[in-house]
Structure 1
Amino acid sequence: MTNQTKTLLHFIDTNNSSGLNKALKKNKHEQAALQEVLNYAALMGDDQSIRVLFMNGANATTEAYANAFKTTATQGHGGHTLAAVYIKSIKNKLIDPSIPLSKLNLTISYKNTKNTKTI
């Protein structure tokens, strides 16, 4: 397993809690689609492969996208995750999807606090 694949699997595992890839894993067809993305992404560098995974995750199903931004009683708004911010920015045409993740300077502001985080 390459480092890129390990990184991708880590991101999938982390983002399952926000529902980003849950819909992809519901049936064999969607599992195959996700595996294809992983295989393609593993051939590229980490930043590029993560971008491909996030973009495909965003466009895979309406449910996957909706779940990523759903407010829950325990978690708050899913949009605080890097994946959700990145996907939302692409969907809203705020950033060019061809720009690698490493070249972006994202500032995330948390509601009800004065904290910001630049990534």
Structure 2
Amino acid sequence: MIELRANKITVAYQAKKIITDLSVTFKADKITTIIGANGCGKSTLLKALTRLWPVAQGKVTLAGRPLLSLDTKEIARRIAFLPQSPKLTTATKVYDLVSYGRYPYQKGFGRLTVSDKQK
């Protein structure tokens, strides 16, 4: 794992600021828990840290590099995000869901290799 850092970020939905001037560091090899009341911005923070929602101000870095400078495939190789209520069919198997994490390592529309299946 590599360090993920937010430096004085502000995140908004339209004109409403949800997160204001927040700085946080997620250190390598550490487990971090984000707790708070419903609607306080936990999911919004995670979306901003994974580039799924834009940061209005401030900067997010991954391994010291600005998140906005990284291509999508590189971010997908470094960060996994599974929302609390994913939009999946009821027939999705856990194996299939986990295997999606190997997608950024495949070439084109490749299939899982033996090595992928072992990971």
| TM-score under structure 1 length normalisation | 0.32
Between structures 1 and 2, the one with greater helix share: 1
| TM-score under structure 2 length normalisation | 0.32
The structure with higher relative contact order (CA 8 Å, sep 6+) is: 2
